[in-house]
Each structure stands twice: as structure tokens, then as C-alpha cells.
Amino acid sequence: MSSLTITHEDPFEQYYFKEEEQQICGRPVSPITKNYDENYPSVVDRFFTRYYYLKTSGGKQAPFQVLYHSNRICLICLAPSHPAFAEGIASVNFDVGNVDRSQNVVKGKAKRGGMVLQADSTLALLTTEKGNVYKIPSCIRGKLVEVHTELIAQPKLLEQAEEGAGYFAILLPKIENCDDIKASLMTHADYEKYVQETSNIAVDEAAVAT
Amino acid sequence: MNPVMAAIQAAQMQMCMPYMMNYGPVPIPFPMQMAPQFNSSTYDEEEDYSAKEDDEEQRTLFCGNLDEHVTDDILYEIFLQAGPIESVRIPKDGGGRQRNFGFVTYFHLSAVPFALDLFQGLELFQKKVTIKAQAADRPQQRQSNDFSVPSVSSRMRNPFANDVAKGDHGAARHARHTLHDAKPYDRSPKHMNNDARRRSDSAVLDRNRPRTNPFLQNSSGGNRRSEQRNNHHHGQRKLYLRRQLTDSVEQQPTNSTFCLHGKEGRRTISMQNQDLVEYLESCGICQVCQLRYLKARGTEYRDMSKTFQRLNVEHSDEQPLKKPRLGVCPTCLGLFSEDFQRQLVEGILAKDISKYDSDGIVLALCLPMTLQLRQLSMWFALRRKFGCVIDDTNAPDVPIKEAVKLILNPIICAQLKKKNDPNGLMINVDLRHSVEAGEVEKLAKLHKAAFPGKQKRIEISRGLLEKQYQPARIKADLFEEYLPIPPTAVDEQLQLKSIVLTGPLVCVAGRYRKLSRELSHTPWVLHGQRMMEDSIEELIIHSVAPHFSESQEKIIFMSSGREDVDVRCLGKGRPFALEIPDAMCSTLSRQLALQMEQAVDRSGKVSVRNLQVVPREELLHIKTGEEQKRKFYRALCTMKEPVTVDILQKLQISESFVIQQKTPIRVLHRRPLLTRPRTIYSLKARVQRGQPNVLIIDLVTQAGMYIKELVHGEFGRTTPSLASIIGKPIDIQALDVVGIDLDWPAEVDNAIAVEGEAIVESTVNSK
Ligand SMILES: [Zn+2]
């Protein structure tokens, strides 16, 4: 605490972790820091499998991402190459015309009362800063459990959020449908191939244009 | 403090009734001890008393939203504050689990509005109890007298406060139900068969139900006004009989005439004890049953001839010799015969009773239904013989089940040299009789004829028999179309069908530490496959159970919360308990406890300490107030970039705050979607020297918080989260529970205690 040492003092000094020793079963307990793993996978990598779904509307194709949890819960997101990211996201609306998805209510363990959606049912409408409106499809057949209503007030979350945090909704497919659903979706490898091809086409088109 | 008492006292404190702070026995007036003179100024009160037999429903309170830990005993002790209680009942469902509602029946109608007022807002185990008058929904003819609440001052007055003076203290003592006189606990909530459960239920009911004695003190002549009162309650002819059974000096000299009072001078209907006994004798009723019909009490069955003498009953010398040979007593089917007692004792002794170390036993008899039918038949017979002297809703005899307790229980206890203990070894005796099947078949036909409206496949149970089958509800003539009145003699006495011993439920508690990050709490089975070799539950049970029980399957493991497979539990550990049904042994020496702890420790995965036997009531520490408990955690967290002083400062929080947490996705497929508010009491973050992106965060939170989701925020589903507090992504790699603020069970260092015990043993040996 001497004033002479101030300039050399490590600003973290008071924040360094010191392990207290404890013995259990006659042996010292290993400190929690021993569990540190530099290559620890992310939350999405730990629990989810990435699948993709293509929706064609107005002659244009747009890709969506399905994060499939090991317990079959699905998060519906935009795929990273969705054109809305390039156009800039202006607003998200869960009122899809005939029904407002944000009014979905589920009760109990069985999620009673949740809307039952088909893969091409519209979950939400997304408007870009260019004025294009994209229909967000449900991507899978299942029961609507949760709607990410925060996106209505903060549509920019979609651009800033970590992977998964820009989910539109959480769906719960039936156990017996899971195999069919997974088979109908694009795998991550398929998706990478798809991105490669579409960017090549874009390059070709650009080349043709010039 | 005894937790049951604590719950009761907490409930009392909460009601803030000054006189209740001083908890003590509430004087219970003997309900039958009413003033003989009828006096118009006390009309209403008198009417309450005289009405009691017929309006059970109106005297009953419904208590809803009960916590699973609320027992009959707790309800009794609390509701006693509003007046003397006739019975308390918490029904059970088909699986033997306690329902979440119960009924309290008072002796007096006037207790009901008082109780409604007094217990408004009552909370037990943090749950608000809904209290309603059971008869509230029905039309109330007597409303003006019973349920109107005249003024605030009288509302808040205990209507029984005045009864102290006129109350019969002996009776009060008799009726008082104490916690020590508790029921046998459910041996195992999950696994017990329904028969055994029913038996223990009936034991509870009996113990709670004070003896309803229709024999009232009254002057033999009666008076006009009482007669008027009787007529006033038409259809409810009450029996005011004079009876002298006790040796009390205050009472009038013996006159053994049972006399329907009020009719003297015109038409006297009288029934001498001698007449009653002679009639019973002519029906072949045994002497024990004769005493039952004379309403003999506890010790009066021991020296029967003395009791008969006191009741001025003579048996002619030849009769006892001749009559019993004619056959087995038609009302008890020989249950009280010496021969049966001998068989029963032999049967029990043939069982491996020495396997159990319990000093106490409780006898649970499962009687054939025909016994109950035979009591009813005798009831009809007595009404035919003696007319309305015999009531039509209150049985004229001491019920068989009660008589079993008075007569058989002491004999069995003496023979086995054990004391009667409702929590002791349960001896389940199933009895059968050759006439049972035939008579039950007739009963089924009778039931269809007697209750034609209720054809919803009601199974005829003992409970139904007890409730529905009484002369007030069934006509003797109809009954006689199916079954004889009086009951016919039989040749064969009751036979033992089976005797099953069930040891007491023993609870063992302790604290465990979990050292492995690959160990589940309970066996983890997915799609029929074991996912992990061991579990905390199995490691503990395997070391503890063999001392108490031969089978480990029925043991229930419970703990104050649980941790994920990959989470350790350090510090003092997590409180847990084992419920061991049918235990052979109900104690645990510290030396043995230490050996068990060492056996668990050898697994290297789990460590156990403070192992001890605890009373079952204490288990509610584990199950209640879960949300009030604080939990202490240490989390290993990582960031994508080096931590800054600013981030560290944001994660030093000493004031509590509330977060909103949605059900985590990892459990959402099997749990409801809810947003739960949870409190964080404090946060303290430190950085690992040399690894600037590694944080060690100590958290104190309310129980029920999902810590992993709290750290990374789970896509914004927990807010605020540590990620949202610092405005940057942060993840969690490892988690330890380091403390649970539950000071239970008591800290017992079995290693130290063993030395003390050795000394005690050596001094015992040296004597
Ligand atoms: Zn008998």
C-alpha cells in the first residue's frame, strides 16, 4: 500500500484467485481451476446440432438455421448467409396476418395449448432496411413453445447476438417425428456446400453482369 | 425443538391471538356433560349439544391446500384451539398418498364459525390453508342458531372458554389427543399394499375418535321440558340413560335401570342391564361381547365377573356352561375367545420376531367384513327387542376394533414382553372366516337394493360399511331379506389367514460430498440402458442399508436439492436422508456409523459424514422451505478475451438482486415453461493468475437457480445474466456447490464419538 509502489502495482493484485485447501476422503480436493480447457466448445457446440432449411419465396431462396438440442428442442434462427443480414434488419413482427404467434401460451409439462406448426408455416415476418419482407418459416413440424418477443423491441439483436441468441422461437417436435425431420433438413456440411455454390453463382452472375 | 410443535407454534404466532401465545392444553368439556335442567336462557347452547350426533357434516370444517407434511396430529393440535374435536381425517388416495385436504369435526356446532374466524389466513409449511364449513354449500335450516355471528366481541371469544368450570376434567383428559399418542407412520409411502395401509388408517381413525357415549347423567324421572326438547328434535330420539359404571363417589348410588327418560307415569320403556344381558345370552353372544353392549371401558374387560357384578348383572351358574358349547359367538365369531387368543399368540411367536430389535409393537388386525355386518344385525335385533332405547345412528356396542385394542392388544403385548407403540413393529394379522364369502355376496345384493341410486360400481369397503350401514339409513326389513336378524351362530371360529411382520420406518440422515464430475445423483437410465455405473444414491444405500434391512429396493433416498452429473459438492456437504421401511433395527451406534462413512469414502467419489438415525418428522427440513434456502457456488468461467478491471468490478456485487429465469432448454422438454424470479445474494469474481481469460466466481443464490444459465444467459433467456451484466459473452466450464445453508442434521463427528462410546462400554462392562 506504500505510495512508492503505486506505479508498479499490478491492477489485478486484489483480484487474483487463491485456492483454499480442503481434504475429503483423506485426499486434497483438486482446485476448480484444474478443469480449465482452452478448447472448450461453445454452448451451441456442446448441446446442439446445426441443421438448415431453405425457403423459397418470390423466386428467391433464403436459408434458415435449426439448432437441434439433444433433448429434441429446436431453436429457429436465420442462417448466417441469410440475405437479411446484408440488407440490414429493420423490424420483426410475429403477427403473421391470420394469427399473432406472440400470443402463444403453453401450459404444463405437455405444453398444452401451444400452436402446432408445419415446416412451412410462417412464424414471423422480418422487414429489412431495404424494405424487403421475409417470411420466417417454422422449418420443422412441431409445437410452438416459446416466442422470442424481445426481437420486436430490439430487432438489431439479430445482427449483434451470439450464435443462437437471435432465435425467433422454440419448437418441440414429437419424438416419433424427429428422424424424418432431421432427414428433411440440410446438415451443416450440406449447408457449407450450398453456401459455396451460391456464392460461386453470385460471382458468376457478377462476372456476367460486368 | 420438535418440528411438529415448531410448525404448530409458528401457525399460532402467525395468527397473533394473544391468548394463544401461551400454548397449553385447551380444556375440553365433556360433551355429554350437559346440565340436566333445561333452561330457556341457554336454549341455543343446549341445542348445539343435543344436535351433535346428527349433524356431523355441519360440525365439520374442510381444510384444503394442505402441504404433504401436515399430519392428522398437526391439524388436531392447531384446530383444537377453537374447541373440542371429535375427529380429524386426511384422506388418502388409491396409492396410499395423503390427499391435500382434510376434515376436522368438532363436538360442537358453535366451534365451526369460531374456527372459520380464528384460522382465517392460516399457513402451514408456507402454504395457505383454505378453510370452509363442510356444510356451507347446503341449505341451513338452523342457520339462525348456528352460523350467524352476532358481534365482533363474541366472535373473538372462544365459545368454550366458559366450559372450564362445568367441564369434566377426567373426560377432557380422555378425549385429549396428544402428539405422543401418534398414529403408526406410513411404513412406506410407495410400496405398502393397500390392505396394510387401510389397517393403519383405521387405527388412526379409532384413536382420534373419542368414545361417543350415549349414556347421559340424568335424573330418572326426567322432566317435562327435556321431553319437549326431545320432541322438538323429532326423528332424533335421544337416549338418556342412567348408568353407573365408574366408582366415582360423586355419583348417585347404583340403580341399574336403563330408562328412557321423560315418559315415566304414562308408558315406561325400560331396559335393565339384566334384560339386555339375558337377551344377548339367548342369542349366543359371548361374555366379552355382552360387556361391549354394556359399553364397558378399558380395564373393565379384565375382571369380567367383577364388572358384571358392578353392573348388577347375574349369570345363572348353568348358563355359561351350556351356552358357549352351542357355538361360536355370532357377533365376534370367537375373536375374543381364549382359544383364539392362544392361536394368535402362537401364530405370532412362530414368526421370526427376534429379527427385529424394536421394543414396541402395534397389532393391526384385518377383520372379515362379515363381522361388521353381524354387529349391524345385532343392532337391528336390539332395536326390535328394546325399541327406540337403542339409537339408530350410534352403535349400541363398543366397536370391535376398539375392543381389540382394549382386550387383545394388552394380552399380545404381555405375551411378547413388548410395549404397545404405534411406531413399533407392526404385526399385520389377516383373519378369515368360512361364512365371509357368502355373506359378502349377500351384502352386494343388499347394497344394490338399499342404494339403488348409487350404482357407480362402488366397491363395498369397510369404510363404506361403517358409514352407510346403520339403522338410520337401512330398514331392518330390507336387511332381513338378505341376512338374518339377529346374527346366526356359527360352528367355526375366525381363522388366521396370515401374519406379516412389518418393521418400523427408520430414517437415517447425514451430509454427503460429491467429488466426481461423472456421477449422477440417482441411477441414470436412458432407453433402458444404464448411462453411468454408480450413483450417489446407490453408493450411500449400499453401505448403510444392510444394517437396517434385508432388501434395498424399498429404501427412499432424498436430499436437500441435487447437483448435475458434472457438478461437485464440497464444503460441509449436502443434507440427505434415507427412509428405510420395514427396518429390523432402529438404532445406529456411532462406531457402526463411522464404519459406514468409511465404506462410502472408499469409493473416492462420494464422502458421507454426520450419519445418524433421526425421527421421521425431521425429514421435513429437507423438503420444506426449499426456496428460502441459500446455496453457495463456485464457478469456473471463461471469456474470449482477457478480463479487465472494469469487468471484475462489475462482478463484485454484495447487494442482493433478482433475476428472471426461463426454464432452461436442457429441461424444457420435460418441465413446464415458466419464468422464475430468483435472488442473487452476492457475487465475487477473481481472475486466475497467468490466465487472464479465466474467472473464478463465487455466488450466493436462492435455491432453485440454474447457475450455468445464469452465467451465459442462455440466448437471453435468463436476464440479467453475468453475460448481460458485463456486456460480453462469458461461458462456464465447471461448477462446485460449496455450501448449503441448512443446519440439519446435527453435526456428529462419529470418529470422535467412537472413543467416548468405547469408554461408556467399558464402564458398563466393569459393573
Ligand atoms: Zn363375542
Long-range CB contact pairs, A25-30, < 8 A, 24+: A25/B515, A25/B601, A25/B602, A25/B604, A25/B607, A26/B601, A27/B604, A29/B515, A29/B570
Peptide bond into B150 cis (omega under 30): no
Average pLDDT of the residues of chain B: 75
Q: What is the DSSP string of B745-758?
A: SPP--HHHHHHHHH
B672 contacts A107? CB cut-off 8 A: yes
> Which residue reads 424481445 in cell numbers?
A150
Residue B764: strand, helix, or coil: helix
Give the sign of the dihedral formed by CA B170, CA B175, CA B177, CA B181. Answer: positive
Tally of CB atoms within 10 A around A97: 8
Dist. CA B58–CA B474, nearest whole Å: 22
The residues in A 86-145 lying below 8 A from B, measured between CB atoms, are 106-109, 111, 145
Higher pLDDT, B619 or B209: B619
Give the sign of the dihedral formed by CA B389, CA B394, CA B397, CA B398. Answer: negative
Q: Is residue B19 part of a domain?
A: yes
- On whether the CB atoms of residues A108 and B670 are closer than 8 A, the answer is no
Closest CA to B33 of B169, B159, B157: B169
- Looking at B219-228, B568-577, B725-734, which range is the least confident one? B219-228
Sequence-distant (6+) residues with CB within 8 A of B114 are: B82, B83, B155, B158, B159
**Mutate: best of B696, B708, B712, B719, partner A, most A CBs <10 A:** B696
pLDDT of residue B115: 84
Q: DSSP letter at B405? A: I
Q: Is residue B315 part of a domain?
A: no
- Say if residue B657 is in the same domain as residue B540: no
Q: Is residue B248 part of a domain?
A: no
Long-range CB contact pairs, B756-759, < 8 A, 24+: B757/B589, B757/B590, B757/B591, B758/B591
- Say if residue B663 is in the same domain as residue B573: no
- On whether the CB atoms of residues B202 and B465 are closer than 8 A, the answer is no
- Looking at B180-194, B606-620, B684-698, which range is the least confident one? B180-194
- Say if residue B162 is in the same domain as residue B62: yes
For chain B, say whether A39 makes contact (Cβ under 8 Å): no
Active-site hit among B54, B55, B117, B564: B564
Closest CA to A194 of A37, A3, A52, A72: A52
Q: Is residue B519 part of a domain?
A: yes
- Say if residue B589 is in the same domain as residue B656: no
> Hey, which CATH number is domain A53-203, 2.40.50.840, 3.40.140.10, 2.30.130.10, 2.40.50.100?
2.40.50.100
- Looking at B10-24, B69-83, B202-216, which range is the least confident one? B202-216
Is residue B564 annotated as a catalytic residue, yes or no? yes
ipTM: 0.93
Q: Of B623, B652, B680, which residue sits at a domain end?
A: B623
pLDDT of residue A158: 95
Helix axes B194-208, B72-79, angle to 10 degrees: 20
Residue B282 in this model has a pLDDT that exceeds 50: yes
- On whether the CB atoms of residues A92 and A168 are closer than 8 A, the answer is yes
B694 contacts A37? CB cut-off 8 A: no
Q: Where are the domains of chain A?
A: 53-203
Q: Of B185, B206, B227, which residue sits at a domain end?
A: B206
| Cell numbers linked to A181 | 425431420
| CATH code: domain of residue B562 | 3.30.70.2510
Q: Which residues pair with B142 in a beta bridge?
A: none
- On whether the CB atoms of residues B397 and B285 are closer than 8 A, the answer is no
For chain B, say whether A146 makes contact (Cβ under 8 Å): yes
- On whether the CB atoms of residues B147 and B112 are closer than 8 A, the answer is yes
Q: Is residue B702 part of a domain?
A: yes
Sequence-distant (6+) residues with CB within 8 A of B41 are: none
Dist. CA B560–CA B573, nearest whole Å: 10
- Say if residue B642 is in the same domain as residue B547: no
Residue B245 in this model has a pLDDT that exceeds 70: no
| Cell numbers linked to B502 | 412389518
| CATH code: domain of residue B198 | 3.30.70.330
pTM: 0.65
Q: DSSP letter at B549? A: -
- Say if residue B730 is in the same domain as residue B601: no
> Which secondary structure element, helix H or strand E, spans residue A185, and what is its range?
none
Report residue B461's pLDDT band, with 50, 70 and 90 as the boundaries.
confident
Dist. CA A142–CA B599, nearest whole Å: 49
Q: Which domain holds residue B559?
A: 505-623
Tell me: the pLDDT tens digits for A103-135? 999 999 999 999 999 999 999 999 999 999 999
Ligand 1 centre distance from Cα of residue B340 (Å): 11
Tell me: the pLDDT tens digits for B389-424? 888 888 899 999 889 988 888 888 998 899 988 888
Report residue B468's pLDDT band, with 50, 70 and 90 as the boundaries.
confident
- On whether the CB atoms of residues A31 and A25 are closer than 8 A, the answer is no
| Cell numbers linked to B501 | 411382520
List of chain A residues whose C-beta atoms are within 8 Å of the C-beta of residue B564: none
Number of folded domains in chain B? 3
Residue B63 in this model has a pLDDT that exceeds 70: yes
Residue B563: strand, helix, or coil: coil
Nearest neighbour of B515 by CB, restricted to A15, A29, A108:
A29
Dist. CA B281–CA B265, nearest whole Å: 31
Residue B17 in this model has a pLDDT that exceeds 80: no
- On whether the CB atoms of residues B431 and B368 are closer than 8 A, the answer is yes
Q: What is the DSSP string of A56-107?
A: EETTEEEEEEEEEETTS-EEEEE-TT-HHHHH-EEEEE-B-SS-BGGG---B
User: Chains A and B: how many Cβ contacts under 8 Å?
Assistant: 111
Average pLDDT of the residues of chain A: 91
Tell me: the pLDDT tens digits for B126-175? 788 888 887 755 443 333 333 333 333 333 333 333 333 333 333 333 33
Q: Of B206, B229, B245, which residue sits at a domain end?
A: B206
Peptide bond into B486 cis (omega under 30): yes
